[in-house]
Amino acid sequence: MMPNAGRVCTPYGTGSLLSEVGAGGPLRYARNRCACIQSWFRRNPLWAFWKLDYQIKSDLFFGHKRRQARTPGQAAGSEYHTARLFGTAIPSNIPESTAWWKKQQKDLFAITDEAEHGLMQNMVTISHNDYCPEMLAAIRRGAFAAPTEEEKVEYLLTRVRRDRQRPRFENFAFEHVLSFQRRVQATKQHFFARNKRTPLGDLQDWWDRTEAQKRAALHAHILCWLRRRELDPAYRPLRAIPKTAVGTEQKQRPKAQVVEAPQEHQEDAVYQHAFVGRVSGEMPRPNVNGDAWGGYDVEKLRIAGLARGILLRLPYLHSCTPNYCLKDRSSCRLFFPWPEQPYQVFDDNTERVALARRLQEDDQWVVPHNLYLTMFSPSSVNVLCFDPQRGADQAR
């Protein structure tokens, strides 16, 4: 295919990349393509998939050749032409393959062993925002264009009309991946520093995986382990919300089941067992009661208004759709809308940690988040906490 269909894509000649002397190899080829002035191939969504397919076939072909050289007695006698060229063994370095997933699973099981870190306390998900400043600049003025001052806040202040054509973000796959990786790297630098106190808590270690969503956007899952606390001898955990929903499936708490606030304030087990940063399921609402406006000045109230604007503008308010959370279901699989909840505690109805939602009209659709992460990144960053007494079954 390379000598015919891909001649213009070969930077070191008109023939095959691997057949010409001095062609360089796949790494040099990919570097040349990414830094080339011509960018038509980056705007073609098929180029990235073709490149991945080409890389996988190269790994399979040369890996099979190396295995044959080590075991010359086992000649390739398969009746299938593909098996003779590429073999039947799938290496674990090919992303998303069965062997790759088994290797990832073994690594995760080793980390969650009680002799190592044990059960994780948090999971952070990062969904890239197509309307982030660098993406808007790249689409409008070309690759690596710097965003203007207006574009830096456009994703917060501008609402696109339904009759306006949406920019074709899928034609800028390279810029999208580069923007996503830079955003994730900045988030890890400031919030995932090991053995340091961060807004997420006292972080010890983390493990991440990136997947591609159906809407052609990248989505990162990051599991977090935080430093354990020494429990007070008099500590008694809060009683979980009893299950009253009909059936054995996980369901939202019935409306008739009202949860009363405890007489004495006590934090949930999530914050008692480890140094975990606050996970919120509420909209920012400064309490300005009193003579001094609750201790808030004008600047703090402006920041609170900005925080509410970010939660409203970015996808921090869940919206049920038939293609996502309502697929083959009559109710939301993420249990939205959530009922009023005066304090954070584990709920046996949903088998999840029920976050505090003290004003149902304002909080019932808010996804779990860390307010510092929300204010830091234009991406949608969700934080899900796990109950330390429920084991790994609810951490799924």
Tell me how far apart the alpha carbons of residues 315 and 176 are, in angstroms, rounded to a whole number: 18
Q: Mean per-residue pLDDT for 207-215?
A: 79
Residues 87 and 111 both lie in one domain: no
- Indicate the average pLDDT of the chain: 82
Grade residue 60 by pLDDT with cuts at 50, 70 and 90. confident
> Does 233 reside within a domain?
no
Name the range with the highest mean pLDDT among 3-7, 243-247, 318-322, 365-369. 365-369
pLDDT number for residue 103 = 85
Of 54, 77, 95, which closes a domain? 95
Is residue 155 pLDDT above 70, yes or no? Answer: yes
> Quick one: CA dihedral 145, 147, 151, 155, positive or negative?
positive
Is residue 75 pLDDT above 60, yes or no? Answer: no
> Does 259 reside within a domain?
no
> Quick one: CA dihedral 305, 308, 312, 315, positive or negative?
positive
Is residue 14 pLDDT above 50, yes or no? Answer: no
Is residue 307 pLDDT above 50, yes or no? Answer: yes
Tell me how far apart the alpha carbons of residues 274 and 286 are, in angstroms, rounded to a whole number: 27
Calculate what percentage of the chain has a pLDDT beyond 70.
80
Is residue 55 pLDDT above 60, yes or no? Answer: yes
pLDDT number for residue 395 = 53
Residues 210 and 308 both lie in one domain: no
Residues 78 and 128 both lie in one domain: no
Residues 306 and 325 both lie in one domain: yes
Is residue 5 pLDDT above 50, yes or no? Answer: no
Grade residue 315 by pLDDT with cuts at 50, 70 and 90. confident
pLDDT number for residue 58 = 82
pLDDT number for residue 49 = 67
> Does 261 reside within a domain?
no
Grade residue 6 by pLDDT with cuts at 50, 70 and 90. very low
Is residue 9 pLDDT above 70, yes or no? Answer: no
Question: What is the count of structural domains for the chain?
Answer: 3
Q: Mean per-residue pLDDT for 374-396?
A: 81
> Does 51 reside within a domain?
yes
pLDDT number for residue 98 = 81
Grade residue 277 by pLDDT with cuts at 50, 70 and 90. very high
Residues 197 and 218 both lie in one domain: yes
Q: At what angle do helices 133-141 and 173-191 cross, to 10 degrees?
A: 160
Strand partners, 212: 218
More confident residue, 248 or 168: 248
pLDDT number for residue 187 = 94
Grade residue 375 by pLDDT with cuts at 50, 70 and 90. very high
Is residue 180 pLDDT above 60, yes or no? Answer: yes
Q: Mean per-residue pLDDT for 345-364?
A: 94
Name the range with the highest mean pLDDT among 72-81, 113-122, 152-161, 209-218. 113-122
**DSSP string covering 137-169, please?**
HHHHH-TTPPPPHHHHHHHHH----TTSPPP-G
Residues 275 and 383 both lie in one domain: yes
More confident residue, 282 or 38: 282
Of 166, 191, 226, which closes a domain? 226
Is residue 222 pLDDT above 90, yes or no? Answer: yes
Of 63, 95, 127, which closes a domain? 95
Residues 69 and 117 both lie in one domain: no
Residues 381 and 303 both lie in one domain: yes
Grade residue 119 by pLDDT with cuts at 50, 70 and 90. confident
Task: State how far Cα 204 lies from the chain centre.
Answer: 19
SS3 content of the chain, % helix, strand, coil (to 5): 35, 15, 55
Residues 89 and 108 both lie in one domain: no
Residues 180 and 275 both lie in one domain: no
> Does 79 reside within a domain?
yes
pLDDT number for residue 130 = 81
pLDDT number for residue 44 = 61
Residues 85 and 136 both lie in one domain: no
Q: Which domain holds residue 169?
A: 104-226
Three-state DSSP state, 47: helix
Q: Mean per-residue pLDDT for 98-109?
A: 84
pLDDT number for residue 74 = 56
Is residue 23 pLDDT above 70, yes or no? Answer: no
Q: Say what the pTM is.
A: 0.78
Residues 194 and 111 both lie in one domain: yes
> Does 232 reside within a domain?
no
> Does 242 reside within a domain?
no
Tell me how far apart the alpha carbons of residues 346 and 228 are, in angstroms, rounded to a whole number: 19
CB–CB of 205/117 below 8 Å? yes
